Amino acid sequence: MNRYIAPLALAASLALLGTAAAQTVGIATSNPGSLFHNIGTAVAKAANDAGLNATIQPATSPNQYMPLVNANEVEFGVGNLEEFNNALTGEAWFSDTGASDKLRVVGLIMPIREAIFVRADSDIMSVADLKGKPMVDGYTAQQTILPQLDAIYATAGLARSDMQPVQVPSVVAGADAFIAGDAVGFIFAHGAGKVREADAAVGGIRALGVPDTPEAVAAIKQHWKTGYVVRMEPGPAAPGVLEPGTFIAYPQLVFTNADVSDDVVYAMTKVLHDGKEAMKAAFPPFAAFDPKAMVGETAPGEYHPGAIRFYKEAGLWKE
């Protein structure tokens, strides 16, 4: 009888995916050039390859699209865990919109690794060297960036007030201000398309590292609770990393809302778990994605029941 188990399980899985594919789902992302747009595009490609119809729905930032996912105007989104939980509880820059308490976790993906980038031919060799210089600030449409800047500056004993502020609405606009010469640096996630654009536009960039010390990590966590430090090596997937160094990192995730059907969320969870190679082909930083690490500590964020069903079947669920 055992020889029938695998075919029956496969048939059930295909039937479920077929049901989920009957509808088209949206994946909310930031604007083109951003890390979240790259991630969402890769996830959508893997979903479509697997038979789950998915389309990208860009917005300026998670400030705008997390409430939309909460309202089920878009079924899925990509973001970072700290911002997700702030939206969930209506804290920090989400206090005006109130709690998006229907947001649910689908799965953790590879962490964001982030840096401030400067021109490679500049004399700015460390975060401390930014003091007194024109630096991107404001981020009126993407307020999550301000505490991230604070966290990086704090590792050098600095604050945003130590810089000459160059007002920009978003990270993409901040990179544009750097390319135009209005700011000496910009903050962005390693591997994003806009980082490659800036690297090419100015003839080379340098990523400024942060110390890997208990004091630096403590300074980061004062501003960004989920932050930690990782080591990176130079390579084609990391423009600006000119030598081995350490940089700030924090968890990111794919999320949904409580009203999306269990079957659709199950199908998307399966796409993420099984689709690493397809996603890596579309966006190389998915090489750092570990499907076995999709279940982790997300409190107060909770997993969607459809995701939990998949993880239980896959032997990954941890009560």
What is the value of pTM for the model shown?
0.82
Domains in the chain: ranges and CATH: 2-110+252-314 (3.40.190.10), 113-250 (3.40.190.10)
From 9-23, 170-184, 255-269, the region with the lowest mean pLDDT: 9-23
pLDDT for 136 equals: 98
pLDDT in tens, 273-290: 999 999 999 998 898 899
Cα 171-175-177 angle, rounded to 5 deg: 110
pLDDT in tens, 199-237: 999 999 999 999 999 999 999 999 999 999 999 999 988
Is pLDDT at 62 greater than 90 in this prediction? no
pLDDT in tens, 236-260: 889 999 999 999 999 999 999 999 9
**Average pLDDT of the residues of the chain:** 91
pLDDT for 20 equals: 54
